[in-house]
Amino acid sequence: MVKVLVPLVDGFEEIEAFTIVDVLRRAGIDVTTAGLAGNIVEGSHGVKVYADDRMLDSDSTNYDAIILPGGPAYKQMIQSQMLNLALHDFLKKGKLIGAICAAPAVLSKAGILKEKRATIYPGMERELDLPRGDRVVIDGNIITSQAPGTAMEFSLAIVKKLVSPAKAEELKKTLVV
């Protein structure tokens, strides 16, 4: 079974995180949410969640992909040495890395997006080496997306890459996307 790690940091964007987790689980993907600082994490709009695990206890070698939700939390993610090390481990092993909204800035600051096409929340394009205006951009094993309104497209692109185009199409029909 495909396994995905979704780090959560206080200030994460709820629509993005919940859409990612829900759509990937509907696709049969084993998704683990992991709090960067602990198990109880509060989103940018005050929704508190109990993460499945803590990043401190998560072994990135057990996962096929890491997906970063955006929101104001991206500033804390940029500062996290633990997350930076995990991202580089995923990159080195050619595993899927995804980021939405402001989170592509985390990838950029970590050096993950060097010479990679990517997209980011409108107005933050200067954070990227090769910014694109598309809603979802795929460059090799990196998938980026713009904002809460693109979370469904982003999640389906991840399903297409990790499971199959047929599964992504099936979900698209079932969810009436």
d(C-alpha 16, C-alpha 31), whole Å: 14
Residue type present at position 165 = P
d(C-alpha 142, C-alpha 132), whole Å: 13
The separation between CA 173 and the C-alpha centre of its own chain, rounded to angstroms, equals 23
Instruction: Name 4's bridge partners.
Output: 31, 65
Q: Which residue has the tokens 């954070």?
A: 127
d(C-alpha 23, C-alpha 152), whole Å: 8
78 is catalytic: no
Residue among 31, 101, 118, 151 flagged as catalytic? 101
Residues 6+ apart with CB under 8 A from 165: none
Instruction: Name 96's bridge partners.
Output: 65
Contact 99, 77 (CB under 8 A): no
Report the catalytic residues: 101
